[in-house]
Amino acid sequence: MKLFGSRLVSRDDALHWLTAGLNQLPASIGDRPFADAYQVTALIYEFEEPHPGDQPHFIDRSSLTYKDHLAKSKLWEMLER
């Protein structure tokens, strides 16, 4: 179990978040202030669609840095606060 504040998150809760396609934390966790005690991991994948309607393909070596991706998504400015 992982500890979130004073609440332990059960394995079942965490698996439900994963299998339900959850792309954000529940408000009870996500609304807490971000502090130095937290760690963040960003998994960045880049895909390209060469022409409209073409099948997108994975870009193995991006010309953008991780910081470029996070800045364009506005996550970097949130992490700097």
Question: Based on the structure, what is the number of domains in the chain?
Answer: 2
* 12 and 44 part of one domain: no
Cα 20 off chain centre by: 15
Provide the 10 A C-beta neighbour count for residue 4. Answer: 15
- CB 59 within 8 Å of CB 48: yes
* 48 and 18 part of one domain: no
State pLDDT tens for residues 62-72: 888 989 998 98
State pLDDT tens for residues 23-78: 777 788 788 887 888 877 788 888 888 888 888 889 888 888 989 998 988 888 87
Which bin fits 74, alpha (ψ -120 to 50), beta or left (φ > 0)? Answer: left
Q: What domain range includes position 8?
A: 1-33
* 45 and 76 part of one domain: yes
* 23 and 56 part of one domain: no
* 77 and 59 part of one domain: yes
* 25 and 47 part of one domain: no
* 48 and 81 part of one domain: yes
